[in-house]
Amino acid sequence: MSKVCQITGKKVITGNNVSHSKRRTKRKFYPNLQTKKFFIPEEDKWITLKVSNAALRTIDKNGITATMKEAKAKGFL
C-alpha cells in the first residue's frame, strides 16, 4: 500500500543526505502515517484510514464527518 495520507494527501518526498564534507546522496522523507479506525455515526459504521499525525489533529478539531467531506472535495479520499 502506498505511503499517502488519505485525509491531507501528504506523501513521500525526496531530498539529500548531506555529510560533513557536503557530499549529497539521495534519501526519502516519509510522512508519519498511522492506521486508525474511525466510527461514523451518520452511517453507523467503522472505517479504517491511513492518516498522518497532522490529519489526526484535524479530525480531533473538526470531526471525522467534516474532515472526510473536505478530503473528498480535494480528491484525497
Average pLDDT over residues 38-45: 94
- Using an 8 Å Cβ cutoff, are 53 and 32 in contact? yes
Query: What is the set of domains in the chain, with CATH numbers?
Result: 13-74 (2.30.170.40)
Report the C-alpha gap between 50 and 57 in whole angstroms.
14
pLDDT > 90 in the chain, percent: 95
Q: Is the predicted pLDDT of residue 54 greater than 90, yes or no?
A: yes
Take residue 69 and report the three cell numbers written for it. 467531506
Per-residue pLDDT tens digits for 9-20: 999 999 999 999
| More confident of the two residues 52 and 76 | 52
Predicted model pTM: 0.85
